[in-house]
Structure 1
């Protein structure tokens, strides 16, 4: 069983990445309340089940996708219990097939790596052209669970704060689809 800390309602004393600092500074600036836990590295959605239990929230599955030419990128937020289907996703957006973006592109645009893709990457200038796509079921939950862009910190925030404060602050538009 992985290490999971007590629940905190304040930012970490030290940051592990620039993205993590940007995330917590933005939450503070927008007066978004959260609960967070520190953990061992959690990479898979199965690993995240322990974080889910501790925070009493379902961690949202966040996927980073690219078109075949690697010229258009998509950050997909979806319910963790759903399976991703490339064909259905592409059809929903009326685009040709997509695949997972490479780790190199993920590091360049989202400043994160495989296993810790996060909504907070939309705060980065490098991600300004990434299309945000959201499974409609994510909007139905009172709370939104996610990583802070690292593999060792997970958070619980109000879904309304994500969609009414954080996303508008980022300047991103988003498309809601059924998965």
Structure 2
């Protein structure tokens, strides 16, 4: 079974409605946005992060237009250093290639060792958009339903306040 089909089946099993837009492979958020222009829902970016020793993993979901202040995030999670996880770690933990990271990859995380964080700013949005384990589709799902999905697969949605990084002259 392909990874998208697992997502589709799980959402249907949970009674969660969603909208799928099929498109050519999207390699950047800008390209993905062009395929779904005019469709209601916040455009998200999902980052797969780790600590220096690769003993803790984080999935951070935020508005795709916002920049992450890595120093603030490491303080929130109580780490000395946080960085983008390698493509090897991404594949090992969620069976996903770079550019396809989303909360739906958590369904493939057998160790259940990834903590999920959402920027508080996007939570009031009615719908969010993601690649559902493939960059050839974009899924639109209502925000409360995404939280319901995460709980159903054994993950807590931690809501945090992220500030935009200070511009340095």
| Superposition TM-score, scaled by structure 2 size | 0.89
Superposition deviation, residue 25 in structure 1: 0.7
1:155 & 1:78 partners in 2: Cα distance? 16
After TM superposition, the runs of 4+ consecutive aligned structure 1 residues lying more than 2 A away are: 54-59, 124-127
Alignment length (residue pairs): 162
Q: Is the 8 A contact 1:67 1:73 kept in 2?
A: yes
Are 2:74 and 1:63 equivalent residues in the alignment?
A: no
Distance 1:54 1:126, change over 3 A: farther
Structure 2 residue aligned with 1:79? 63
Instruction: Please state whether the residue corresponding to 1:62 is helix, strand or coil.
Output: strand
Q: Is the 8 A contact 2:96 2:133 kept in 1?
A: yes
Instruction: Please state whether the residue corresponding to 2:60 is helix, strand or coil.
Output: strand
Superposition deviation, residue 176 in structure 1: 1.4
Q: Mind listing any 5+ residue stretches in structure 1 that lack a counterpart?
A: 1-16
Q: In the alignment, which of 35, 38, 44 is matched to residue 28 of structure 2?
A: 44
Q: In the alignment, which of 101, 111, 124 is matched to residue 108 of structure 2?
A: 124
Are 2:138 and 1:135 equivalent residues in the alignment?
A: no
2:86 & 2:13 partners in 1: Cα distance? 32
Are 2:162 and 1:176 equivalent residues in the alignment?
A: no
Structure 2 residue aligned with 1:166? 149
Structure 2 residue aligned with 1:147? 131
Q: Which moved more, 1:86-95 or 1:54-63?
A: 54-63
Distance 1:104 1:177, change over 3 A: same
Q: Mind listing any 5+ residue stretches in structure 2 that lack a counterpart?
A: 163-169
1:45 & 1:37 partners in 2: Cα distance? 15
Superposition deviation, residue 75 in structure 1: 0.6
Superposition deviation, residue 19 in structure 1: 2.1
Superposition deviation, residue 56 in structure 1: 2.6
2:156 & 2:35 partners in 1: Cα distance? 29
1:39 & 1:127 partners in 2: Cα distance? 32
TM-align CA RMSD: 1.5
2:109 & 2:33 partners in 1: Cα distance? 31
1:112 & 1:103 partners in 2: Cα distance? 8
